[in-house]
Amino acid sequence: MTTKRIVAVVAIVAVIVLAFLAYSFFKTPEEASAPIEAVPIAVEQQESAAEPTATPLPPEPTEVPVSEAEATVEAVAETDAPAESSAKPADSPLPTPEPVEEAEEAPELAKQEAEPSSSAPAIFEIVQEESEARFIIKEVLRGDDKTVIGITDQVSGQIAIDPAKPANSQVGTILVNARTLETDSNFRNRAVKNRILLTNDFEFVSFEPTEVIGLAESAGIGEPIDFQIAGNLTVTDETHPVVFDVIVTPVSSDRIEGLATVTILYKDFGLFIPDAEAVDTVEDEVTLQLEFVAIPK
């Protein structure tokens, strides 16, 4: 093969590669398939309801047939009566047994003991219009430091709050529609969706909580609460355990506000950031945040 042919083949390959890169950067990403909906939370009962206790009823009084009772009274009278008819009759009648009232009260007692000792949790749901999921990453753009932020309100999730014991509260699956993430640059938006998060194939980023750590035993209205949520984060087809730092404030009995934050290495999830001429460097760490409002479902 001559030098000219080699150069021609290399040029053709370069053109194909550039065309593919240009297409992948500039093609229009697919839009969200549907408005995001919360995955119903599967509530685990922390404290089971008290088992009904069978209360033994007192034995019912034995009823003696009337004929037998009369015969008994007559026999006693004949035995104790003197031989002479002038003897005085007995001064007092035989005592009459009093009715037993415990038998009527026992069913009510058994009913009270059968009542459960714990209340059902209250289900709160994230309000999309007042919530925001975002990623934050730093880069050097044409020699200047820049913080890139991608945001979306297409986030969903449910929280089960135990009013009797807040420490037993649980968090359901959190979903974020990656196709709706937006930054301050359309070129970057296409790069994030088409080349980094591959949103045409993987529409959602999900977080499956496995444990709530350090949640207070009680909480007051207006008092911020700090704790952590451990779970499995899935980005594209990679899943890894992470721990979010969370601060939640019960604003009222029917509204809670919170912020959850975690910092990860995007390379741990198999992600890579394609080279761009204007971008000098990009940090390895990316911060994920969920700022939310939740109200009763």
Tens digit of each residue's pLDDT (9 = 90 or more) over 47-75: 444 444 444 555 555 555 545 545 444 54
User: What does R_g of the chain's alpha carbons equal in angstroms?
Assistant: 39
Neighbouring C-beta atoms of residue 199, cutoff 10 Å: 22
Structure tokens at 179: 């196709």
Question: Predicted confidence band at 109 (pLDDT cuts at 50, 70, 90)?
Answer: very low
Handedness of CA 232, 235, 239, 240 (dihedral sign): negative
Q: How far apart are CA 183 and CA 167, in angstroms?
A: 37
Q: How far apart are CA 165 and CA 215, in angstroms?
A: 10
- Which CATH number belongs to the domain containing residue 235 in this structure? 2.40.128.110
Domain that holds residue 266: 121-296
277 in Cβ contact with 269 (< 8 Å): no
Handedness of CA 237, 240, 245, 249 (dihedral sign): positive
Neighbouring C-beta atoms of residue 141, cutoff 10 Å: 16
The answer to whether residue 81 scores a pLDDT higher than 70 is no
Tens digit of each residue's pLDDT (9 = 90 or more) over 115-147: 444 568 899 999 999 999 999 999 999 899 999
Q: How far apart are CA 35 and CA 110, in angstroms?
A: 50
Q: What is the pTM of this model?
A: 0.69
